[in-house]
Amino acid sequence: MTVNRTQIGIIGAGPAGLMLARLLMEQGISSVILEAKTRKYVENRIRAGVLESGTVDLLNRAKADYRLKVKGQIHEGLELSINGQRSRIDLKRYSKGKSVTIYGQTELTIDLINTHLKAGGEIVFDAQNVQPNNFNTLEPKLTYSKNNIDYQLDCDFIAGCDGFHGISRSKIPIKDQNIFERVYPYAWLGILAESPPPSNELIYATHKRGFALYSMRPPSLSRSYLQCSPSLDLNDWPDNRIWDELQIRLGSQIDSHVSQGKIREKGVTPMRSFVVEPLRYGNLFLAGDAAHIVPPTGAKGLNLAMSDIQYLADAFLDFYKNNSFTGINNYSDRALSRIWKTERFSWWMTSILHKTKNESSFDDRIRLTELEYLLSSEAAMRSFAENYVGLPF
């Protein structure tokens, strides 16, 4: 077995693991990322692309924002459609000048990988049978194999950034995990299409037929979603049905008709909220989807992972620069405080925009009244905008 040494062993080359490696490297702290998938697979995963200002700031710190500055679309507001009638929420006005940036997570991942490798960082793609070991001791280790050769990576700490189905959380004894979960009775039918969006800003829609979302992938692609059953059969949804349903739910307007185009991809996304506590077990730290899942309605998954990473990077920096355990000891509580606030907003936004199959007339009227109140109250819009553009990291 070949034995190597680094300071931080990172499991997972998604945005969370990549960002952690970048921030650490900029501070002179060494790390190695172990990724079970190939580089091609990682760079082609299609995900959301609404970035909070805190995420944009981290990309700048990571020196990986060169393409974002050119291709990112700054959105100062969004549209909300209620049974076909659209209204605009001015995010910049109600959040003290903040906004969000539209930039695909796929592109962000590519930027982080390229930046890290060009800077001399180490990413082991296609690492098989990655196993965290001894993380409840002062000598944690990661073992894995690559090209039929076994490796051992000795490190000071292990960061589990390997997603909801990764190995990291599964290695923590169940008795030491507090799990909180909600599974929603609906899902999203998502498409990526070669068509320009009908608006310069995102459109969130609630309709008697269900939820819809229209977003963009500049310059000529759109990313759209329709509320559907988790057991939906894609064969029952030909392209023309999808376009017709999007037009109905988003609302017909003369100057912003839904443009049809070639649909490149279709897929069904289940909806759940999930949090595990604590985020630290010995010298193993969970971050990103390994620690929590939010429904995609509020576009918080990637951004929540980035706040975890800032807190974790700060904790490691405090340890190596100041010989202090304060940041490490406080990481879980600090991250969970923001996680639960974000979970609350994602749950709320999901609940008021989605119509449940067995929803009573009373519940439906309360849901619609909540939306009407949002659009009629400056205080409500300030609260919405503050949460949507992102709470401070």
In a domain, residue 66? The reply is yes
Is residue 281, in this structure, part of any structural domain at all? yes
Q: SS3 for 218?
A: coil
pLDDT in tens, 220-258: 778 899 999 999 999 999 999 999 999 899 886 545 567
What is the C-alpha to C-alpha distance for residues 333 and 335, in angstroms, rounded to an integer? 6
Question: Do residues 52 and 146 share a domain?
Answer: yes
Q: Which of 300, 311, 331, 354 is catalytic?
A: 300
Total tally of structural domains belonging to the chain: 2
Token output for 179: 């799990």
Say if 81 falls within a structural domain.
no
Per the structure block, which two tokens stand in for 136? 């409840």
Q: Catalytic site residue 75? A: yes
Catalytic residue check, 184: no
Same domain, 343 and 369: no
For residue 292, indicate whether it is catalytic: no
Which one of 94, 311, 331, 388 is the catalytic residue?
388
Predicted local confidence at residue 110, as pLDDT: 97
pLDDT band at 215 (very low <50, low <70, confident <90, very high): confident
User: Taking 60 as the threshold, does the pLDDT of residue 8 lie above it?
Assistant: yes
Domain-embedded: residue 375: yes
Q: What mean pLDDT is predicted for residues 287-307? A: 96
> Residues 96, 71: contact at Cβ < 8 Å?
no
**Residues 66 and 211 placed together within one structural domain of the fold:** no
pLDDT of residue 219: 61
Q: What is the CATH number of the domain that holds 247?
A: 3.30.9.10
311, part of any domain:
yes
pLDDT over 70 percentage in the chain: 97
Q: Is residue 126 part of a domain?
A: yes
Domain-embedded: residue 96 = no
pLDDT of residue 254: 44
Q: Are residues 166 and 277 in the same domain?
A: yes
Catalytic residue among 15, 75, 144, 214: 75
CATH code where residue 290 lies? 3.50.50.60
For residues 196 and 245, membership in a common domain is answered with: yes
Catalytic residue among 144, 151, 186, 204: 204
Residue 262 known to be catalytic = no
| Digit-coded pLDDT (tens) for 51-107 | 999 999 999 999 999 999 999 999 999 999 999 899 999 999 999 999 999 998 999
17-55, pLDDT tens digit by residue?
Answer: 999 999 999 999 999 999 999 999 999 886 778 999 999
| DSSP code for 235 | G
Residue 370 to residue 332: CA distance in whole angstroms: 33
Range of the domain at 284: 2-73+103-180+272-350
Q: What angle do CA 384, 270, 42 make, to 5 degrees?
A: 95
- Let me know if residue 112 belongs to a domain: yes
53 and 149 in a single domain? The answer is: yes
Q: Is 186 a catalytic residue?
A: no
